[in-house]
Structure 1
């Protein structure tokens, strides 16, 4: 046996987006049905380097496959200026649950972008209006690209409005997708009045209020991943149907963490978890549903599900670089 080494380009090649979306939906279902294990994310704080490490292990069993893995990821804000390295880097170890053999070691940064977009697509499929054709994006960084790539797989997106303080970022985004969509830059309100809105910013002061969205807009709140981050105004959240990916993570570091800790928003204001909707325990969008918000913090089961797709596709196409990691090669 050999372990596959898969670079960021390999992950991009083999992370077939429709398959990743299906795998994430299966992962949410497994989590809801209790056939997944996901210990709490652990942190190694390194204040002397202005950074930290985070470990995200998980196992999940679906009706057709099971998988296990660990993502080891860092956040070092000084890296770009001091070391010419990315702020965030991730490594995914993907293992055979039966034998624990390390089937693959793959780039976790590209994997995270793919599964984050796919998570928004799963939520959009269940919570956006069925005939949604417009997508707004607030924040034109790297995450914005997979938001459009994934959401356009579940809705016939035609019009895209992207809003960002950095005009060059907006221009790059528009140029990338100009041949596939009617895409342009615009204000936050213009983006928010699309059928679907994805927010992918690191802000700590809300930038999207209730007047910035349409009456039936579905919002994917993807930017908050740490305590204090907060993209959507409290009155927008309180007037919306809120769906979360995981209660512990969302109340600790998701979009709702600030108003939840302040007591402004309580458990009574949370409609349910995405897994409940995926398996049919709760209804998704109905004719009476107004604004919906998906609070996504990113779960380890999503990384494992996406890694499963990448590994299987790479194996089928004889991709990646096989090597003998544990002395079990033939």
Structure 2
């Protein structure tokens, strides 16, 4: 028995954004129904290299009716991912890289080893799309992007599967990154460069930067914000006054209070548990309401969960198996 090795080109070829969004939606619902085993993300800090490693194990059991799933499936995986901000300048490598081991939960056999870097981008975009589906106005048509890197691509592509995105405003201090973004998407959307304020007053805004001092100081009166950039203690993109006035929905309470968008004001006591309205899973499962008539600004605080990784890997693996793509490799002894 052999393990299927799925590198970045194969993952990209097999990626179907709409299917991944639906799988991630089902994962949030299944988790809310206590069909996920997801230990806390563990960190290995490497201050001597200005970086860290993160380990994310998970088991997930999806059943019909979870999100829009019509079939039952389960899967297990672990993602080993790094964050090294000096990589691009010092080593010509990405800041974030990841590897996913996708495993048969019945036997423990490693079915596939996948490039987790691309899957991380895909599942992060998918999580924003799920939050947008439930928390943004149904008639939302404009999308602001604060940050023009590769995650901005995933945000746009995924969110466009749940809302009729017509106008896109992108803001980034790196003019080259903005120009490349406009080249990639200008033929599909009415997309233009703008200020952070212009991007943040769109119907929907996704922030995808690693800053530690808030750069979004104002939003529209009923903007939905996907706060995607904060993934470690000290990171903070959104002004505290916006958070205080918003309906805040988190992907995971422990992770968000430790390392999500709310971690700084929460640690300072400016935000408390009373300011956190809900986690996303119960909203997707139908146990809590999505957007309500009285909601103004909504904020989704996303730190990234292993259930998103295993759901995305499931889509990729099943499509690889159906099309016989990937490189077979005898990874473990089975005799």
State TM-score, norm by structure 1. 0.97
CA deviation after TM superposition for structure 1 residue 328, in Å: 4.2
Say whether the 8 Å CA contact 1:222–1:296 is kept in structure 2.
yes
* Aligned twin of 2:42: 42
The answer to whether 1:180 aligns with 2:188 is yes
Bigger shift: residues 39-48 or 68-77: 39-48
Root-mean-square deviation over aligned CA pairs: 1.1
Superposed counterparts of 1:286-297, under 5 Å: 286-297=292-303
Query: Structure 2 stretches of 5 or more lacking a match?
Result: 64-71
Superposed counterparts of 1:167-316, under 5 Å: 167-209=175-217, 212-316=218-322
Superposed counterparts of 1:92-241, under 5 Å: 92-209=100-217, 212-241=218-247
**How many residues are aligned here?**
327
Work out the CA distance in 1 between the residues paired with 2:45 and 2:251. 25
Work out the CA distance in 2 between the residues paired with 1:82 and 1:202. 18
The answer to whether 1:68 aligns with 2:76 is yes
Q: Alpha carbons of 1:178 and 1:238: their partners in 2 closer, same or farther (altered >3 Å)?
A: same
CA deviation after TM superposition for structure 1 residue 85, in Å: 2.1
CA deviation after TM superposition for structure 1 residue 51, in Å: 2.4
Work out the CA distance in 2 between the residues paired with 1:79 and 1:260. 30
Work out the CA distance in 2 between the residues paired with 1:78 and 1:125. 35
Work out the CA distance in 2 between the residues paired with 1:168 and 1:208. 21
Work out the CA distance in 1 between the residues paired with 2:43 and 2:330. 30
CA deviation after TM superposition for structure 1 residue 309, in Å: 0.5
Query: Structure 1 stretches of 5 or more lacking a match?
Result: none
- The C-alpha deviation readout for 1:204-236, integer Å capped at 9, x for no partner, is 111112xx2111110000000000000001110
CA deviation after TM superposition for structure 1 residue 132, in Å: 1.1
SS at match of 1:10: helix
Work out the CA distance in 1 between the residues paired with 2:50 and 2:266. 27
- The C-alpha deviation readout for 1:154-177, integer Å capped at 9, x for no partner, is 001010000011111111101110
CA deviation after TM superposition for structure 1 residue 326, in Å: 1.9
Work out the CA distance in 2 between the residues paired with 1:47 and 1:267. 31
The answer to whether 1:82 aligns with 2:77 is no
Work out the CA distance in 2 between the residues paired with 1:45 and 1:288. 42
State TM-score, norm by structure 2. 0.95
CA deviation after TM superposition for structure 1 residue 13, in Å: 1.6
SS at match of 1:153: coil
SS at match of 2:168: strand
